[in-house]
Amino acid sequence: MRDRRRTWTLGGIGLIVCGVLGMLRSTGPGMPGVFVLGGVADLVYAVAVMLFAFGTTAAASVVARRPLGVTTMTIVAVWPLIDTVAVRLLPQDGTSLGAWTTYGYVTLVVQTGAALIAATQIARAGVVASPWCWAPLWVLGFQALAWAVPQIVFVSVGPGAIQSWADLLALVGTLAALSGTLGLGILSLVLAVQQRPDSVEVYRSA
């Protein structure tokens, strides 16, 4: 239990830090150093997710170090870093629309597929207590809804009236992003506190 408490506390703090850095990045996209801030956020996120995947011991791993769970969580952890590098390498002059489209599909399939499998593995591993083991799947559902709502609004009201919905859609998108970092980070800290330290047998003197 001590290993779980340590792992989930450190991982939770990492996700919270990542969420805070993400908010700072979104409030000032044009300010100096925003790229560095984004890189730090992605690195912290990768370390936090990898910590949850492997744990300080097998008992502390949220997927019990099962190969499929560890593999998919590793993909989820490092994909933001890969995405940052890929976006910087792809042509920015608009001449390679096909490359951007292909990369968009690859990102959608790999990132979404890995996240879905990883969340399912967390739920099935039985390490995190129910119902909280389903929290990653709840987050994915909320993020899918946050992606679908703008599409529905755009089709319903048309491009001319979409501007009036901009603030609401931006808020929904921000909440969806924070649910996967700040939200899960806070939940991890709460679950870490609930872990009871291993009992120590005390021998009485004769």
* Reported confidence tier of residue 203, pLDDT bands at 50, 70, 90: very low
Q: Model's pTM, two decimal places?
A: 0.84
129-133, long-range: CB within 8 Å, 24+ apart, which pairs?
A: 129/191, 129/194, 132/187, 132/191
User: What is the reported pLDDT for 206?
Assistant: 40
Q: Does an H or E element contain 117, and which? A: helix 97-125
Q: What is the mean pLDDT of residues 2-24?
A: 91
**6 vs 59: CA distance, rounded Å:** 12
Name the residue ranges covered by the structural domains of the chain: 2-130+182-194
* Reported confidence tier of residue 17, pLDDT bands at 50, 70, 90: very high
- Residue 44 sits at φ, ψ, to 5 deg, of -60, -40
User: What is the reported pLDDT for 95?
Assistant: 63
Q: Mean pLDDT across the chain, nearest whole number?
A: 84
pLDDT digits (tens, 9 = 90+) for 119-141: 999 999 999 999 999 999 999 99
**9 vs 3: CA distance, rounded Å:** 10
- Both tokens of residue 90? 């792809």
- Residue 34 sits at φ, ψ, to 5 deg, of -65, -35
pLDDT digits (tens, 9 = 90+) for 149-199: 877 877 777 666 677 777 777 888 888 889 999 999 999 999 999 886 654
